[in-house]
Amino acid sequence: MTLREDDPRSVGGYRIESRIGTGGMGVVYLGRSASGRAVAVKVVHTRYADNPEFRARFRQEIVAARRVSGAFTAPVVDADPDAERPWMATAFVPGRTLAERVDETGPLDWRALRRLGTELAEALREIHRAEVVHRDLKPSNVLLLGGEGDDGAVRVIDFGISRAASSDVRTQTGMVMGSPPFMAPEQFSRPREVGAAVDVFSLGAVLVYAATGRSPFEAENAYLAAYNTVHSEAELGELPEPLRPLVSACLTKEPENRPTASEVLEALAGLPEELPGEEGRAESSPIPVTTLSGQATLPSTGAGTTRPKRRRKRLLTGLVGAALLGVTVAASVAVVADDPASTVGEADQAGRQATGPQATPRGSTPPGWRPWHNALEPEKDEPMSIGPACTPDALGVFCSSAQVALTRLSPSTGRVDWTKPMSRKEVSSFSLREPVVHDGVVFVSSADRAQGVDAFDGRTGKRLWHLDGPVGGFEYLSGVLLVRLDELGLSDTARYAAYEPGTGEELWRRELTSTSASPLYAGPEGTLYADLRGGSGGVARLDARTGRTLSSVEAPQGDLWLATVHDGTAYYARWEDDTGVSAAFFVQDLGSGKTRRVDFPWSVEPEAPPLVHGDTMYIFDYGNETLLALDLKRGKPLWSSSRELRVFSEPAFHQGRLYVLLPDTSILALDARTGKEIGRTAPSFDTDGRSFEELTPSAVPPLPAGGVLYGISGQGIFSVADVS
């Protein structure tokens, strides 16, 4: 749907492109992140923004969606419940809703219906394990992804009226939240007492709708539908016979008599894959294996290339602090040095220490260093908040949060060396950026909360200089600090300036027009590259100290994301149908302008820029949870990591090795030429008993520095010995 005159053109730094739909809570837009990724941005209706009860419920929606983001939901990318109009951004999941599918092509056949029920039951099982109740499961909140007839993998969306089972936020007296005729009876009669059983009831109603095109409590209006739900028996219509007993059990009036989602899943697994007389139809209308993007999985031409049936939580690209959501850096407690004198028990100590060669650091280590980990627990009575965003460096780990402008954790012990407070001044909006560290200087969002820039000496904590805000972003490239002086907004044209990192002296400023929110890249020998597509249409080479244009080349045509620039070469990913899945890269020499195409043997999801070293490109494929190495000269894959590894972070390259973080907070070292495992560290945190989907991913690669490795995960920050 096209944008209306009063629709926003930018929300939270995401460029708004079109409307996706409108619901009771707000409007959902298709937006575009700085890297070019599509996101779905839900913006709350103005009439609700001043309602404290609503804001509390919207905050709960965000918490609930974060807790269950994974194989069956659209992961939360960003959110601001305190904005003038609260909003939340999730990964954009292309596909038709079940309501659209049934409306356009009619009820599902048996195979599609059985698959739908199985995946919905599995989704509810995972949602309920996270102690969340959806409370609004209906055909328009069920996405069918890809393939003929859109009968592919299922995603449950819109946790708009969900709540965690332990939440203190309660429905207002007299207010019924949900969507008749797919609500359970208790949602009308006792809405304060609803539990997981309401989702099972809704599952039964959705299956009847998918099989017949009608709700089991269909009526002329919502009021009659509510009455039917509470007082009348379900109308099952043409529901296939094998499903009738199970669906009837789901639609039982009393919640305690309904099966659990796990029991529904088990019952569905026992049903026949084909109904008598339908084998021929099934063969002529197969349900394809699909990827999250809706693209059919290509035949495997290398190890570990098949799309898994279940997906990991996807990274919150560009939001490093999301790896540690909900804690503050006010405390230096919970720091454990892995030595016999620490407070860790002997059994726990034995389980955490690496054995054999893993315990021997490669090269010199910081003075007094021992393995440590810091859970960054909040101090007593400290409010929960977004953050911190942390950046490891050889000087230590630097973190920022909404409460603390900057703190440094000691590289030797993990304890807080010093802290710079954040102003408590109330502001209309505040976005957290991870610290940028280079050559002993740390750049962070300004402590006055005005979205400016502060530069600190990373050794002493002394503030070196300050730049007033608001600014749209900052990064260190080619010896200068580059700052977008204009906030992200409607225009593709913005002012940029370069500053001397140590003194804050302005070196130059100029206006650039680009469709990219971050158009500048490091070049060789004190130069920059500027992606000016949307303006002059090419890629320009600039002098980093003066901002003067030295040369330019025409960019290749098409819907391409300039993923990275390395050693005078630009690497563009081509999106497949605006999905974030890429089957090819275009490699352009920025001196001559010559471009060549490198095709992948399967479609990948490069959610972050690839790592290029020499003639090899390393890509983290989020869809298959594998690390790929491609020979850029021959355009052929070299190797891919095993799916059993379940890679968890972007890779880091150091001295011929690749380092990646695994879900159990161990760090894996791979030979960069062959992909073979060299070794791995022992886990730094106890993750036993937690499933892969329950663990929070990290957007920060491990940092090898000074003979040790630094890592950031959802459990906290740690430092371990490099593997030998």
CATH classification of the domain holding 100:
1.10.510.10
Residue 637 placed within a domain: no
91-95, 384-388, 533-537, 661-665: least confidently modelled range: 384-388
Instruction: Give the Cα separation of 651 and 383 in Å (integer).
Output: 34
Residue 619 placed within a domain: no
Same domain, 106 and 84: no
Residue 216 placed within a domain: yes
278-287, 393-402, 510-519, 525-534: least confidently modelled range: 278-287
pLDDT at res. 173 = 33
User: pTM value?
Assistant: 0.54
Same domain, 20 and 129: no
Same domain, 196 and 76: no
Same domain, 28 and 142: no
Amino acid type, 588: Q
Contacts 24+ apart (CB under 8 A), 709-713: 709/659, 709/667, 709/681, 710/392, 710/397, 710/411, 711/392, 711/661, 711/665, 711/667, 711/684, 712/320, 712/323, 712/324, 712/390, 712/392, 712/397, 712/661, 713/323, 713/648, 713/661, 713/665, 713/684, 713/685
**Could you tell me the CA-to-CA distances from 650 to 10, 110, 705 in Å, in that order?**
28, 41, 17
β-pairing, 389-393 with 372-374?
unpaired
Same domain, 224 and 325: no
pLDDT at res. 518 = 86
| Domain closes at, from 438, 470, 502 | 470
Same domain, 322 and 443: yes
Residue 159 placed within a domain: yes
| Domain closes at, from 70, 92, 114 | 92
Same domain, 256 and 390: no
pLDDT at res. 164 = 45
pLDDT at res. 384 = 36
- Stretch 213-237: mean pLDDT, rounded? 81
Q: Is it the case that residue 380 has pLDDT exceeding 60?
A: no
- Say how many Å lie between the first and final Cα of the chain, rounded: 56
Decide: 119 and 262 in contact? Cβ < 8 Å. Answer: no
Instruction: Give the Cα separation of 371 and 352 in Å (integer).
Output: 10
Same domain, 389 and 435: yes
User: Residue 179's domain spans which residues?
Assistant: 95-276
* DSSP state at residue 283: H
Q: Is it the case that residue 147 has pLDDT exceeding 60?
A: no
For the chain, what percentages of helix, strand and coil (3-state, to nearest 5) are there?
20, 30, 50
Instruction: Give the Cα separation of 555 and 570 in Å (integer).
Output: 9
| Domain closes at, from 33, 64, 92 | 92
Residue 582 placed within a domain: no
pLDDT at res. 349 = 28
Same domain, 48 and 162: no
158-162, 302-306, 419-423: least confidently modelled range: 302-306
Q: What percent of the chain has pLDDT over 70?
A: 74
Same domain, 85 and 114: no
- Stretch 126-148: mean pLDDT, rounded? 82
CATH code, 83: 3.30.200.20
How many domains does the structure of the chain reveal? 3
Same domain, 84 and 169: no
Same domain, 433 and 461: yes
Residue 511 placed within a domain: no
**Which tokens belong to 566?**
């390395």
- Order the strands of the 38-44 sheet from edge to edge: 10-11, 14-22, 26-32, 38-44, 87-91, 76-80
